Structure 1
Amino acid sequence: MIKIAYDITVLGQGYINAKAKTGVYRVVDSLLKQLLDRKDIEIDLVAYNSLNNIWDSVSTELFISNEAARIRKQYQSCHQSKLNLLNLYKVAVKSQKQFIKLSSQYLPVIYKPALALQIPFKLLGKFDIDFHFNSQANIYHSLFYALPSKDEINRISRILTIYDLIPVLDSKSFTTSICQKYDKMLQSIDTNQDWITCISQHTKNDFCNHTGMNPERVFVTPLAADTHFFPVENLDIIDNTLKKYQINNAPYLLSLCTLEPRKNLSFLIRCFTKIILDNPRIDLNLVLVGVSGWKNNDILKTAQENPILKNRIIFTGYIPDEDLSAIYSGATAFIYPSLYEGFGLPPLEAMQCGTPVITSNTSSFPEVVGDAGIMINPTDEDALCQAILTIIQDSQLRKTLSEKGRERAQQFSWAKCAEETVKVYQIAANCR
């Protein structure tokens, strides 16, 4: 039977810092749940990637111990402290988790110092920690980070999941650090021997064009919205959830994403402003859900430019999954004008909740949304304004898009994603 070393470093990071529970976290978590239920493969869980820092390893162990006891026996620890300092590292990681939680609730000013807490321990770990790949797996699957060298993992087959090529195609929208990590990830690939899974055909096309890798070694494994996203019809549940995040009871447009340039939120805010100025009697708010990313000053500046927008644009920050179905379901429409997406999970989640969707017509959106939403050029303000006004004013269109969206979302599932992923495992194992 094929045994997979499945890297869950991302889950450990999300355990320590809720802000790390972004799209990649969803993928690693949702795919893992499906793979663990299968009888045709075995899974070893590891936190062994090219970074090999003690902070991520300990974070992952704490995640396994505290939130994932059912999979504890599958976890293979990959580190050993020469100075017997593991308890010290655990205390430090737990302290950071508490500081981050405190910063999100009361003291935002301590967030960055809390993140910096790991720096001295990472440096100490370079001298103190030995990393050993203890798994007897046939295949190593990295879901995000650069692949470890072949010698480090006993020269077994390697698979890397690629989400998009955005830091390569649009480096100006990212920090230098992110671009460097992405370059390292691409450089870790042996295009002649490794295997790649991409989350959309569009991502596969971009990846093959950029790297020149043989398309026969690159596979598409489409994502899905989790089953806990569903239409919420109980208005009391929706109202209580909105109150929880200080969202008033006016009709609202919704967008959910990390606040960063690529998501094109400044464009959305300008369009929303134009609609409000041209239609002063419209009772409508804009709710933006998501953590702050990088280079987002323009987004905040645009939201503050016009006093008429005061209290009409609501930044909620991170919202946990258990509250998102109500937030999606309460929205008049979900707007996602991103300039580029490798897949685009939020529109699919919104459609599964029965919320009418407006997205860009670029990159992977046609694959995901199809004819179940309104697609616009993400640089055409008039087009987005008209699409929003049409949805607001046409109740029959909202009903039609809601029905089409739910039907479309049913075409995607994590079981299908797992099935396609296992096919790649089998091909990689048979080609050894």
Structure 2
Amino acid sequence: MRIAFDIQPLLNNSKSGVGFYEHGLVTELVNKKKEDQFYLQFFSYKNREEKRKIAKRYLSNNTEMDECTYFPGSLYRVLMSFIYFPYHFFFKKQAEITHFFNFCIPPGVKGKKVVTIHDMTFRAYPGTMRWKTKMVLALNIKKSIRRADKIIADSEFTKKEMQKYYSVNETKIAVVPCGIDFNIFHTEYNDDTISEVKTKYKITGDYFLYLGTLEPRKNIEGLIKAYAIFCKKHSNEAIPKLVLAGGKGWNYETIFSAVKEYSLEERIYFTGYVADEDVPKLMAGAYAFCFPSFYEGFGMPPLEAMACGTPVLTSNNSSLTEVTADAAFKVNPNSIEEIADGLEVLWQDKQLYHELRKKGIEQAKKYSWENAANLLYNVYKEL
């Protein structure tokens, strides 16, 4: 097969969840499916050398770059929302299948078309997204669903959400979950390695960890309020700090305001963006991983933390119940008291704490990039 990937989500050293999803699948496919030909398609009008440098990481004997150097990709993504501007004008390689990993299929793509739609946040929780992102999705999702020969969902939950909001025929959707790189996320990090990364990010002692973008959908403000209750209950005791790791997304100001409002400046640490190589070490060193998100299409961080042997507190909603099964402590993300009680249980109930650690390690093993790539490859073969 001749398969093209739109690799725009990969061309940033600070990859988002979409970028990590595509990275895992593309890496696995180009390295394992040697009998097929792969094309890496991207616009390189701006930052050409940097984009080429990143794209070259995915090259192998059966993989070629197919770039458009003369037209800005950002401009094309705006124009395609309003006018018919054929995608195939910009790329030379003729693929049998082209896969778009970031929600939208542009017009004028030759051959079979596959799109991954990761979630329905812009319909279910529109207030938690940037207006620009909502507008792009509102203008393009229906058209992308119509253009697609196959739609990929990260989870059964997202598949049902697409059926709910767009009445998509069940047979048009295939589920290909995220995976975990077990060479990176594992339980073998030693105390010295963890101590080094804690020193780098100025963390001392035990800590609860949130790791992800600082934005409204992740319910970080709710976690801070719950942690304030936990701290009040243990005002004279040595308890874990709360580490909020990740770059600023949007509408994050209230997160910092909440820390000041509850006078938690000495107990809550902000690390800023965490380098990829430090993520598993921070997870492995955490007392527990906290992810009380309002809504997820999959939710990779809880599984990655489980793979590192760290017990997880997460939400009892969306895809998170599906992905974490019975291996995490579940809370209602809309209840500050429940989140606080969850922190309390993880801190006090050592038997449950160790049970969740064991269950988490086993649950994480169910999700590998090899399995995910095989599922996706079977979708391609059926087209």
TM-score (structure 2 length as normaliser) = 0.90
Work out the number of aligned pairs and report it. 369
Write the deviation string for residues 287-313 of structure 1: whole angstroms up to 9, x where unpaired: 011110011111111111122x12211
Query: How much identity, in percent, do the aligned residues show?
Result: 31
- Residue in 2 that maps onto 1:112: none
- Residue in 1 that maps onto 2:37: 42
1:149 to 75, 83, 107: 107
**Contact 1:231/1:325, CA 8 A, preserved across alignment:** no
Within 5 Å, which residues of 2 pair with 1:407-422? Answer: 407-422=362-377
- Residue in 1 that maps onto 2:63: 74
RMSD over aligned Cα atoms: 2.4
2:157 and 2:137 mapped to 1: Cα distance?
18
Write the deviation string for residues 169-197 of structure 1: whole angstroms up to 9, x where unpaired: 22121121111122233033253753100
* Structure 1 residue 339 displacement after superposition: 0.5
Write the deviation string for residues 94-136 of structure 1: whole angstroms up to 9, x where unpaired: xxxxxxxxxxxxxxxxxxxxxxxx99xx99xxxxxx9522122
2:45 to 44, 51, 54: 54
Structure with the larger helix share = 1
Q: 1:304 to 1:193 in 2, by over 3 A?
A: closer
2:8 and 2:62 mapped to 1: Cα distance?
16
**Contact 1:4/1:139, CA 8 A, preserved across alignment:** yes
1:260 and 1:69 mapped to 2: Cα distance?
30
The answer to whether the aligner puts 1:299 opposite 2:288 as a matched pair is no
**Contact 2:296/2:319, CA 8 A, preserved across alignment:** yes
TM-score (structure 1 length as normaliser) = 0.80
Q: 1:377 to 1:360 in 2, by over 3 A?
A: same
1:343 and 1:421 mapped to 2: Cα distance?
16
The answer to whether the aligner puts 1:374 opposite 2:329 as a matched pair is yes
1:290 to 240, 246, 250: 246
Within 5 Å, which residues of 2 pair with 1:24-423? Answer: 24-36=18-30, 37-39=32-34, 41-47=36-42, 54-55=45-46, 59-65=50-56, 68=57, 70-71=59-60, 74-81=63-70, 132-144=90-102, 146-150=104-108, 153=109, 155-191=110-146, 194-227=149-182, 228-248=184-204, 250-283=205-238, 284-307=240-263, 309-423=264-378
Larger displacement relative to structure 2 (256-265 or 384-393): 384-393
SS at 2:178's partner residue?
Answer: coil
- Residue in 2 that maps onto 1:127: none
2:311 and 2:217 mapped to 1: Cα distance?
22
Unaligned runs of 5+ in 1: 83-88, 90-117, 124-129
Runs of at least 4 residues off by over 6 Å = none
1:158 and 1:142 mapped to 2: Cα distance?
8
1:78 and 1:184 mapped to 2: Cα distance?
25
1:69 and 1:263 mapped to 2: Cα distance?
31
1:53 and 1:261 mapped to 2: Cα distance?
32
**Contact 2:99/2:115, CA 8 A, preserved across alignment:** yes
